[in-house]
Amino acid sequence: MLRNLDLRDPAIRAVFMRRLALFMGLMMTGGIFVFPRIPMLFGIAALAFVLKGPAMGIRREMAPIFFLLVAVFAVTLIGGGGLPLGDVATRYANFAGGILLLGLYLDLPRDTMPRDFYFFGKAFSIQAVLTVILAETVNGLFRPVAFDQDLTYNTIGFIFTYHVMLEDSTRFLRPDGFFYEPAVFQIYLNIQLYLCLFVFKDRRWGAAALLGVLATQSTTALIISGIMLGIYYVRLLPTATAFEKLAGVVVAPIVAIFLALVAAENFQAKFAGVSVGSTWAREYDAYTGLNIAIHYPLTGIGFGSDQYFDAAMKYGYMETQLDNRHVASRSEANSNGVVMVLYTMGFPLALIFFLGLFRQRFFKHRLLFTGMTIAALIPEPLALNPFFLMIMFSGMLLVPGRARALPAPGYPPMDYGALPSGGPRRLR
């Protein structure tokens, strides 16, 4: 992946900096605490300045995005009944990160960002599997690092990292990758699996990505992976060779049974076993967020944490099985990324963001990608963070079809490393 990485070559240096900016965007979207958000945002801005000049990639095509953000600010004032500067500044810093990332890719071929992500996805797949192997075989190499009094990460140089939650009842230790929990890591591993199966047609790396997903032992991840594999198998059959069909008949049931067994074990633990508290918490978040959104359908309540706490105390899900202490704790923030968009800005503006996700310009299979992304964001509050905002904003461009889905020049079919001299030409 890193062969011919000669940073003296301007084109290769540009690819390196662009991918570094994307990595920072990923770290702003669920990264572990050693990747602080503000420095990451300044890093993205600095790289955008170097790569794109003083405009940092901001172009006329982005006008609808800026109009939307003005409207979001307006409804925040109306729905929230005030201006919580800290919370609003944090949210608009994320918006800025999404815009800057989009600016890096706006005048490049459509498949450039997926190829850049694929570069990291390979590493994520290996990282996930090796973390489990090392944690189960040479656990003494891991060192504890306390984030707060209730959360301790065990890590080898923050490359291989895991932590144990009280409700965990998994068979093996679960990898965090560079992210704050396995449920975030699985989102990116499933995107990698999608790229392997449907875009780059690489079954070997697809198998590695699937092993990474399995390592996270996330119920949501297993459901998403199972659906993707089913769709891939159905699409493959009409053009498959006789050997591939025979292999599919043998392998597909084995994979399906294995996924079903792992998923069934997770379901049992989360709905009737020791992890049932996690299910109750997510249920409370979903229903509470929806209740708030229904009571503030046009404007939402804004981004203020105090506004959310007050609304949750008033419209919270009263049929929950959580005790009062946990209800109060869950009312400080909501973990459901989809309903968070709804209750913060109201249904009309939220639908624009979701429409942007569907109309995004980076991934070919819009319906599949939108469905898996929404499913992945339901248990995680990441929808309005830079990486996913970049994807949503790409579907709001004034001329979203400006860059055609053509192969990026200079990328050999199976070499996704550095870009040779010359770089990608700008498409009009």
Asked whether residue 5 carries a pLDDT value surpassing 90, the answer given is no
Looking at the structure of the chain, the number of domains it has is 1
d(CA 418, CA 3): 8
What pLDDT, on a 0 to 100 scale, did the predictor assign at position 247?
Answer: 63
Dig out the tokens for 67 from the structure: 């109009």
To which H or E segment does residue 154 belong? strand 151-156
The confidence band for 328, taking pLDDT boundaries of 50, 70 and 90, is confident
Mean pLDDT of the chain: 84
Asked whether residue 150 carries a pLDDT value surpassing 50, the answer given is yes
Q: What share of the chain is helix, strand, coil (3-state, %, to 5)?
A: 65, 5, 35
Asked whether residue 401 carries a pLDDT value surpassing 50, the answer given is no
What pLDDT, on a 0 to 100 scale, did the predictor assign at position 83?
Answer: 76
The confidence band for 6, taking pLDDT boundaries of 50, 70 and 90, is low
CA distances from 216 to 76, 175, 177, 187 (A): 36, 6, 10, 10
Model pLDDT for residues 77-114, shown as the tens digit of each residue: 888 777 788 889 999 999 999 999 999 999 899 899 99
In the predicted model, what is the mean pLDDT of residues 122-140? 95
Model pLDDT for residues 230-273, shown as the tens digit of each residue: 898 888 777 767 666 666 666 666 766 666 666 666 655 555 44
Q: Is residue 129 part of a domain?
A: yes
Asked whether residue 424 carries a pLDDT value surpassing 60, the answer given is no
What pLDDT, on a 0 to 100 scale, did the predictor assign at position 273?
Answer: 47
The confidence band for 343, taking pLDDT boundaries of 50, 70 and 90, is very high
What pLDDT, on a 0 to 100 scale, did the predictor assign at position 234?
Answer: 83
The CB density around residue 186, as the number of other CB atoms within 10 Å, is 32
The confidence band for 147, taking pLDDT boundaries of 50, 70 and 90, is confident
What pLDDT, on a 0 to 100 scale, did the predictor assign at position 348?
Answer: 96
Q: Which domain holds residue 126?
A: 116-241
Dig out the tokens for 39 from the structure: 């420095």
What pLDDT, on a 0 to 100 scale, did the predictor assign at position 159?
Answer: 95
Model pLDDT for residues 405-415, shown as the tens digit of each residue: 334 433 334 33
Q: Among 33-37, 305-309, 315-319, where is mean pLDDT lowest?
A: 315-319
Q: Is residue 155 part of a domain?
A: yes
Q: What is the DSSP-derived secondary structure letter of residue 319?
A: T
Q: Is residue 151 part of a domain?
A: yes
